[in-house]
Structure 1
Amino acid sequence: MSLRHAVLGLIAEMDGASGYDLLKMFEISLGNVWPARQSQLYGELGKLADAGLIEVAEEGPRGRKAYRITEAGRVELRHWLVEVPVKVGRRDEALLRVFFLGLAEPGEAQGYLRRHMEGLGEYLDELKVLEKNIDWGDDDLSVYGRLVMEYGKRFAAMRRDWFEWALREVTALDERE
């Protein structure tokens, strides 16, 4: 996924959204699957406009611009959605470190696993709070946003449970020695 397509999708769903509106939507929705900083978002808006994929729908006070997707933008978004194969990410720095934890002291290895387990538990709690604070409706952003939210909760829970299991395994190994 690219920031380009995330922004295009939000503009298609939120016709007339400003950069600020899009940034807020990133924070409460896409930030859990594809985070973006303000400078990245505004930079991407400029690139999309230059490419003719979005246009300024209206300009307001203090230079506020509201954007809408162009027909070329819709074609590009649809192409990405249904025709471009998904690139599955295989890199996982946390698991790469787990692979080499035998090089650390047993207490350090256990601490590493415990921190991840606890951090994922905290992240899961944050997702649950966020989910309760969202005013879910029947619109596309709500329907598909709930699907992504559920994935995030399940994925975080699975990783937390795995780190808990790995901690038990490493602790048991240390106790045998």
Structure 2
Amino acid sequence: MKRVDVVGATPRSSLPCVVVMGVSGSGKSSTARLLALRLGVPFADADDMHPRANIVKMRSGRPLDDTDREPWLAEVGHWLRDRAADGTGGVVACSALKRRYRDSLRAAAPRIYFLLLTADRDELLARTAQRGEHFMPASLLDSQLAALELLEPDEPGTVLHGTHGPGQAADLAISSLDEVIAGEQD
């Protein structure tokens, strides 16, 4: 796949794949879609990669376990690996709540950059309650918050609090990526 230049996108010679991560309602999909558009790279929503059994389980109000997540994380990892291999870069919205999940994604595509979106619990509940038809009910938010492991110092990425809208979050992510890319070129 050839990278398409988008008006207003910042040109880059070497772009890592970006995982916009966080719990349900943190703004992953909106921010990731906008970031991909601004960078002129492919976008994917990991929600679309869940096996049917995972969706049924979440719709019924039951949280996924690590066994449920394995095939899903493998699919997300394949998508990232393919974007890295074809040189397009890419942005995926994916919860990636635990370090071991992120390590799995980095094993598939080592140059991943993580953008962790956070927000207060009440704000997250309000957002998830407004989403309507999404398969992830607000009742599972507490299980996601309990599972969330913040980025560790050796994980390349940035943490942004949810008070940033998708546009500002995308701008801050681009600035952070520019610093990472500049550091790699030194």
* TM-score normalized with structure 2 length: 0.30
Report the structure, 1 or 2, having the larger helix content: 1
Q: Select the structure of larger CA radius of gyration.
A: 1
Q: Which has the higher contact order (CA 8 A, sep 6+)?
A: 2
- Larger % of strand: which? 2
